[in-house]
Structure 1
Amino acid sequence: MAKIMLTGANGFVGSKLMAALASDSSIHVVTAVRKGATGPDCIAVGNIDGDTDFSVALAEVDVVIHAAARAHIMRDEVADPLAEYRKVNVEGTLNLARQAVAAGVRRFVFLSSIKVNGEATAVGNLFQASDGPAPEDAYGVSKLEAEQGLMNLVAETGMEVVIIRPPLVYGPGVKGNFASMIKLVDKSVPLPLGAIHNKRSLIGIDNLVDLIIRCIDHPAASNQIFLAGDGEDLSTTELLRGVAKAMGNPARLIPVPAGLLQFGATLVGKKAMAQRLLGSLQVDIGKTCELLDWKPPYTVEEGLRRCFERSN
């Protein structure tokens, strides 16, 4: 029986992954949580940083899945956001990885972010796993530095590392911009987004969990970077229509030209928000599918439907 240690089991991705792992009788899962341990397989380790002691949780573990992180914050109010991200996402990750090496862990699966690649692509010019990194914010920088530290550890110790970079993840219980969009569609608020012709990659939580599980023991995953996605890129207009359909609501979208929306957003200081709604960000999952003999088990339509079926 494989023994897996999971961090971030209380988070959006971690909780769904934990449920999937717990249903597999061939896997023994131990979770490392900040506080509130609920049993012998749930170990409280305190805040994750460069000093966290993971030794109890790592005992006899074969594979670590590190999903815990200081998540991306849109309007971070701390004095030095990069320093705060580094404490958890870099120092905490590498501290855990070094202890994993000492404990004899065979493989370390790290949930990174597409933000390591950058914030935007031209339509049809997809991000590749082999692209040079180009993070544009503190969160993306911290994830890149963690990746680099892990790869250095591979060279020094021989522990296998797998890095997964997902774009926006959606599913039941999602927060942030996607949750805000759902609320607007649910209230049938007319939105000026009926003529947006961008393309954005995203990934449903069930597809991401399936990919992470594939990376636990697949031989070809060793020391690789994988981009994640549903394999279907949508415009903002198409996504809003898909959400409305999944909810059984009408899509009230007004066809306002994207250029006019961009101009207006810039005038009121919402340029970054406009980029997320109007700009493109596409990822190529070809390497992921080929090396891992994997395909996303659910289409976007199915993923959205499952999202709202579960939330009812």
Structure 2
Amino acid sequence: MSGKLIALTGATGFIGRHLLTALSARGHRVRVLLRRPVAVPEGASGAVVGDLARPMNMAAALSGVDAVVHSAGLAHAMSGAPEDDFRTSNTEATRKLAEAAQRAKVGRFVFLSSIRAQTGPSAAAALTEADAPAPTDPYGRSKLAAEEALAEIGLDWVALRPVLVYGAGVKGNMAALLKLARAPYPLPLGSLTGRRSLVSVESLAAAVAASLDAPGPIGRPLIVADPDPLTLPDMIAALRAGLGREPGLLPCPVSLIGLACRATGRQETFDRLSGSLVARADGLAALGWRPAQSTRDGLAALARAGG
């Protein structure tokens, strides 16, 4: 689809900024859809201001558009938000934008969903696209409901379900982990064995590109994950390697680590990073997608770049 016109939502967010750069670099013209008047982000070919929850002006915004990449929404980091807020921002806004895209005869709708549409914060076995979705929180349920809405509308769509995304400018748990890795002292985390799949924002952008380029209707969700899941000690070791340092990890009973996290109000962060959540990107691999780099190399590069 080189040279085609792509409408992008969420272009000012962490993932959206990277998508704008990557899509422009691939020769696409990118029209960004903004909630409020701001300077047009660098790399955009144009911008339209409007509220996705009330998309009265979407006909003009989507005129001549070949595909929509929808990355805007209420983030999982705002997990304390009411369920109605997640439904409004993540489900209903997606439905209304997709309906507008169908009316505008847009060729494909790429939705940035989440692995949380499929599972809770951890999973006992490796996740595949054949597994029945079982989200456990309002955020995950809102993303799954958005996917179901896309399936009902009848346009050509794909929902990408990325695992935890890392890259320059990342916030939340990955930012906290990077800060921890930069600490000058040894860390008592060497006994943690839970493995987690990660994906770099560059690899996620490549997954979006593969979804845009794939022939024929897709009409289903696709997992986005690097093939080499890591333990939390592996992640810290990779980050510290990028800083030119030894891992500096000491063994400590996991029960004591959990107790310390509860005492300092970090139990949720500990649960998310220490439990296992391994996912396989079989569908994307069949479309020819490959991650930009290994997870270890990507984390090392993130640390060298300063996060």
Give distance in 2, aligned partners of 1:228 and 1:305: 20
For residue 267 of structure 1, report the CA deviation from its aligned partner: 6.9
For residue 56 of structure 1, report the CA deviation from its aligned partner: 2.3
For residue 302 of structure 1, report the CA deviation from its aligned partner: 2.4
Q: Secondary structure at the match of 2:60?
A: coil
Does 2:57 correspond to 1:53?
A: yes
2:5 touches 2:30 (CA, 8 Å); kept in 1?
yes
Q: Which residue of 2 aligns with 1:152?
A: 152
The residue type paired with residue 103 of structure 2 is: A
**Any residues of structure 2 matched to 1:129-168 within 5 Å, and which?**
129-154=129-154, 159-168=155-164
For residue 143 of structure 1, report the CA deviation from its aligned partner: 0.3
Q: Which residue of 1 aligns with 2:293?
A: 298
1:17 touches 1:209 (CA, 8 Å); kept in 2?
yes
**Any residues of structure 2 matched to 1:9-88 within 5 Å, and which?**
9-25=11-27, 27-35=28-36, 36-38=38-40, 41-51=45-55, 53-73=57-77, 76=80, 78=81, 81-88=82-89
User: C-alpha deviations, 1:93-148, integer Å up to 9, x for none?
Assistant: 111000001111011000100001112112xx211112111111111011011000
User: C-alpha deviations, 1:250-290, integer Å up to 9, x for none?
Assistant: 33322112244335545776543332132100101123212
Does 2:101 correspond to 1:106?
A: no
Which 10-residue stretch deviates more, 255-264 or 180-189? 255-264
2:240 touches 2:303 (CA, 8 Å); kept in 1?
no
1:252 and 1:269, CA in 2 relative to 1: closer, same or farther beyond 3 A? same
Which 10-residue stretch deviates more, 102-111 or 191-200? 191-200
Give distance in 1, aligned partners of 2:266 and 2:170: 23
Q: Secondary structure at the match of 2:196?
A: coil
Which 10-residue stretch deviates more, 142-151 or 297-306? 297-306
- Matching residue within 195, 200, 212 for 1:199: 195
**Any residues of structure 2 matched to 1:166-185 within 5 Å, and which?**
166-185=162-181
Give distance in 1, aligned partners of 2:52 and 2:70: 11
1:229 and 1:265, CA in 2 relative to 1: closer, same or farther beyond 3 A? same
**Any residues of structure 2 matched to 1:158-307 within 5 Å, and which?**
159-219=155-215, 222-262=218-258, 265=261, 271-290=267-286, 292-307=287-302
- In structure 2, the gaps of 5 or more residues are none
Give distance in 2, aligned partners of 1:24 and 1:197: 39
For residue 306 of structure 1, report the CA deviation from its aligned partner: 3.1
- In structure 1, the gaps of 5 or more residues are none
The residue type paired with residue 201 of structure 1 is: S
Aligned-pair Cα RMSD in Å: 2.1
Q: Secondary structure at the match of 1:6?
A: strand
- Matching residue within 109, 118, 121 for 2:123: 121
1:254 and 1:282, CA in 2 relative to 1: closer, same or farther beyond 3 A? same
Identity rate, percent = 34
Point out 4+ residue stretches in structure 1 off by more than 4 angstroms: 263-271
The residue type paired with residue 127 of structure 1 is: L
Give distance in 2, aligned partners of 1:308 and 1:75: 27
User: C-alpha deviations, 1:183-233, integer Å up to 9, x for none?
Assistant: 122122432211111110010111111111111021266112110111110
Q: Secondary structure at the match of 2:176?
A: helix
- Matching residue within 8, 13, 18 for 1:6: 8
Give distance in 2, aligned partners of 1:74 and 1:255: 33
1:133 and 1:178, CA in 2 relative to 1: closer, same or farther beyond 3 A? same
The residue type paired with residue 186 of structure 1 is: R
2:9 touches 2:34 (CA, 8 Å); kept in 1?
yes
For residue 67 of structure 1, report the CA deviation from its aligned partner: 0.6
Give distance in 1, aligned partners of 2:242 and 2:266: 29
User: C-alpha deviations, 1:51-103, integer Å up to 9, x for none?
Assistant: 45322221100100001111112562x5xx11111111111111100000111
The residue type paired with residue 18 of structure 1 is: L
Which 10-residue stretch deviates more, 176-185 or 243-252? 243-252
Q: How many correspondences in the alignment?
A: 301
Which 10-residue stretch deviates more, 82-91 or 184-193? 184-193
